[in-house]
Structure 1
Amino acid sequence: MIRTAVLALGLGVATAGVAAAQGPDAGAAARAAAEALSDAQVRLDQAEGAQDRVQALTGAVRAYEAGLAAMRDGLRAASLREAQLDRELDARETEVAQLLGVLQALGQAETPQRLLHPDGPLGAARSGMLVASVTPALAEEAERLRADLSEVATLRALQQDAEARLRAGLSSLQEARAELSRAIADRTDLPRRFTADPERTAALIAATETLDGFASGLAALEPGEGSAAAPTIADRKGALPLPVPAQVLRRSGEADAAGVTRPGLVLATRPEALVTTPVPATLRYRGPLLNYGLVSILEPEPDLLFVFAGLGTVFGEVGEVLPEGAPVGLMGGSEALSPSGEGALSQRSETLYMEVREGSRTVDPLTWFATDKG
């Protein structure tokens, strides 16, 4: 499935992403996405077990998301550039009409007529000198007009091609997500720290009314030590990547529109974006919780919990020790082409709420995670 998609999306990224964005950063992102897709295909071909397959498909989904983002940004840049040129041409409509009229008159004039002048040969000479001085400026202006019109035509053709590639890439991305879900369901080779106790978890949910209460109760429950334990991650504090490509909507302690403050981060993501664990961690809980939708709670080390709330799909089995970069879920919503016809994919319309707990208290997630998004 991925091999054909790699070629289709890779070529689409290389053409639409680079040309439309008209910038080195966008071009580098496009090329990196294409290379990541190719690498995912190689790893998928070499996969010997379920975990290898999950890792390869996780890389493929992330590469698709990055590639589509590069194409989407390039398409948006092309649309903005076309609109700018249209405005400039509209503003110069009178000037352009006059220019075309002069050029047409000069083009139709015959040589004998150019030599005739009411003031005789001297007037004709002066007129010829005037025309000679004006003609280069007219030619330069005509060339600028020709270049602008040519760029508009190129941008329109590019957008049509990019929209077709976006549709193909989006279809391939959906297939990769479905294949990833199946591979995770088939995975049985992850180490476990403990086996889930549904009755204790259900009792804890019934006894708590807040996320804080549930997380505190979960941390107090001793899961029982198994053969696998996650190493300390203290040396990575402040440098962890976000679990999903996102923009920070609200930081810890910032009030929302209703004046409510929360101790965690609110992240804006794209629909159906893949959420992964930033470090090796034990999955302590996954499922619905209160009014937070689907929640995944990870324990990278004792007395440290990462809480991800607001997911649309959750992966994994409670008690598993997930390797770094393993998928823990997908965001909700549905990613589709914009009905406006502009070719843009859905923007960051989903929100992930993320808390970090050290022992019994919540801490600012940015003490652990690094982000340059505002």
Structure 2
Amino acid sequence: MKFAAVLFSGAIILAGVHGAFAQSNPADSARAAAQQLEQASLSLQSARKSRDRVAALTQTVQAYEAGLMAMREGLRRAAIREAQIGRELKAQEAEISRLLGVLQSMGSGPPPVMLLHPSGPTGTARSGMILADITPALEARANKLRVDLEEIVILRDLQQGAADDLQAGLRGVQDARTELSKAISDRSDLPQRFADDPVKTALLIATTETLEGFASGLSEIQEDGVQPMDLPDISARKGSLALPVQAQVLRYAGEADAAGIRRPGLVLAARPNALVVSPTAATIRYRGPLLDYGNVMILEPQTGLLFVLAGMETVFGDAGQVIPEGTPVGLMGGEDPKIGAILSQSGDGSGNGRSETLYIEVRQDKNSVDPNIWFRTDKDG
């Protein structure tokens, strides 16, 4: 009976080896991400022949960014899954060894020795009944152990083979960004709502100490020569606008940073070289460096409403142009991580890869308003 109890205990312990990740499949996620990157590569080839190269290349860059993000997430989950299986197997090492020993002895021992019990025929019969009940469970647990060991091998092979997919993806997205920048600079079909006066703008920058003051003065110096142009009313889209970049919210409006400074806008954490697009059709009111915000893009979706995007390394377009929704307006700074850095951080879910910050401020009738009123974020309520 003690022997049977040991077997039953080992079977119960092995039941937990599959763990909490059994319902997910990180290997499939990584493979799907590799397919996304392959599709992005094909999209780049098609974009080069597209009539609207800006729109096609924008979609290509976004496809690459999504594929690379999915690949990083797939590798992260794969590393977590492998580590979890390893920890669980290590924790149950003694029990697994005993179980394997019992299974081996059951399969190799002579039948008379296996069935003989010291208490006689009655004990032998009882032991046989117990073994008959437990053996299927032991075999099931042994099969799960085999599956887990095979999964570890698959996950390791997947992570080792991911370097080529990542390298191709990083090279492809870099090519797509370069071609997109050229296509935007060559573009000549955008409506021009007003002609920028660089002298007045430079004087305003020189005499302004705050973003609020610059945004307020900007509309005043550009009133002359502004052509009336009907843009879609976006009032009904409050709270549903997509963020202009793939990012996570670091701080919401009014939340203090490490230095205790509170700003009226959103601070987003984005990946290096991430593409920033216009969330709506809008007039470019200003683009260029401003104060300590880095490169700034000020968009006017409708009269009296300004979206201020600050912190990009590169900005696209010219003041006065009217751009469609989804038009690229800039790229974040930084450098794409090396393959080794991505793989070494694959088990880190802290978001350290999002090293660049984009600041979004919304101004309505010259007053700052919470961007969460307009943009779709993860904030509850």
Tell me the equivalent position of 1:355: 361
Kindly indicate whether residue 243 of structure 2 is the aligned counterpart of residue 237 of structure 1: no
The alignment-based identity, stated in percent, is 57
1:363, 1:98 → 2: CA distance?
66
Which AA in structure 2 matches 1:263? Answer: P
1:212/1:127 Cα in 2 relative to 1: closer, same or farther (>3 Å)?
closer
Which AA in structure 1 matches 2:343? Answer: G
1:38, 1:373 → 2: CA distance?
36
Deviations 1:188-221 (A, max 9, x none): 2211112222111111111111111111111211
1:117, 1:360 → 2: CA distance?
92
Higher mean alpha-carbon deviation, 237-246 vs 168-177, is at 237-246
Deviations 1:94-128 (A, max 9, x none): 01111222223333334565577778878766665
Which AA in structure 2 matches 1:239? Answer: S
1:111, 1:238 → 2: CA distance?
74
Tell me the equivalent position of 1:299: 300
Tell me the equivalent position of 1:7: none
Tell me the equivalent position of 1:341: 343
Tell me the equivalent position of 1:14: none
Deviations 1:117-141 (A, max 9, x none): 7788787666655554443333222
Could you tell me how far 1:364 is from its partner in structure 2?
1.2
Tell me the equivalent position of 2:319: 318
Paired residue secondary structure (2:79): helix
1:237, 1:138 → 2: CA distance?
59
Higher mean alpha-carbon deviation, 124-133 vs 246-255, is at 124-133
2:241, 2:342 → 1: CA distance?
37
1:338 touches 1:346 (CA, 8 Å); kept in 2?
A: no
Tell me the equivalent position of 1:11: none
Deviations 1:4-30 (A, max 9, x none): xxxxxxxxxxxxxx952667xx99999
Higher mean alpha-carbon deviation, 217-226 vs 75-84, is at 217-226
Which AA in structure 2 matches 1:198? Answer: P
Kindly indicate whether residue 370 of structure 2 is the aligned counterpart of residue 364 of structure 1: yes
* TM-score (norm: length of structure 1): 0.83
2:250 touches 2:267 (CA, 8 Å); kept in 1?
A: yes
**What is the 5 A alignment of 1:9-24?**
19-20=25-26
Tell me the equivalent position of 1:102: 102
Which runs of 5 or more residues in structure 1 are unaligned?
1-17
Could you tell me how far 1:233 is from its partner in structure 2?
2.5
1:243 touches 1:276 (CA, 8 Å); kept in 2?
A: yes
Higher mean alpha-carbon deviation, 248-257 vs 34-43, is at 34-43
Tell me the equivalent position of 1:154: 154
Which AA in structure 2 matches 1:335? Answer: D
2:352, 2:151 → 1: CA distance?
27
* TM-score (norm: length of structure 2): 0.82
2:47 touches 2:60 (CA, 8 Å); kept in 1?
A: no
Tell me the equivalent position of 1:90: 90
**What is the 5 A alignment of 1:214-233?**
214-221=214-221, 222-226=223-227, 228-233=229-234
1:192 touches 1:227 (CA, 8 Å); kept in 2?
A: no
Deviations 1:288-310 (A, max 9, x none): 11111111111112222111011
Which AA in structure 1 matches 2:267? Answer: V
Tell me the equivalent position of 1:63: 63
1:21/1:312 Cα in 2 relative to 1: closer, same or farther (>3 Å)?
farther
Could you tell me how far 1:42 is from its partner in structure 2?
4.9
1:192, 1:85 → 2: CA distance?
60
- Would you say how many aligned residue pairs link Structure 1 and Structure 2? 351
Which AA in structure 2 matches 1:342? Answer: S
Tell me the equivalent position of 2:273: 272
1:356 touches 1:364 (CA, 8 Å); kept in 2?
A: yes
**What is the 5 A alignment of 1:138-287?**
138-221=138-221, 222-226=223-227, 228-287=229-288
1:92/1:188 Cα in 2 relative to 1: closer, same or farther (>3 Å)?
same
Deviations 1:318-367 (A, max 9, x none): 21111110000011112214627336496222111111111221111122
2:336, 2:367 → 1: CA distance?
36
1:255/1:101 Cα in 2 relative to 1: closer, same or farther (>3 Å)?
same
2:33 touches 2:71 (CA, 8 Å); kept in 1?
A: no
Which AA in structure 2 matches 1:310? Answer: G
Which AA in structure 2 matches 1:84? Answer: Q
2:251, 2:89 → 1: CA distance?
42
1:62/1:191 Cα in 2 relative to 1: closer, same or farther (>3 Å)?
same
The alignment's C-alpha RMSD in Å is 3.0
Paired residue secondary structure (2:306): strand
Higher mean alpha-carbon deviation, 101-110 vs 318-327, is at 101-110
Could you tell me how far 1:372 is from its partner in structure 2?
2.7
Paired residue secondary structure (1:305): strand
2:75 touches 2:343 (CA, 8 Å); kept in 1?
A: no
Could you tell me how far 1:271 is from its partner in structure 2?
1.6
Paired residue secondary structure (2:160): helix
2:281 touches 2:301 (CA, 8 Å); kept in 1?
A: yes
Which runs of 5 or more residues in structure 2 are unaligned?
1-23
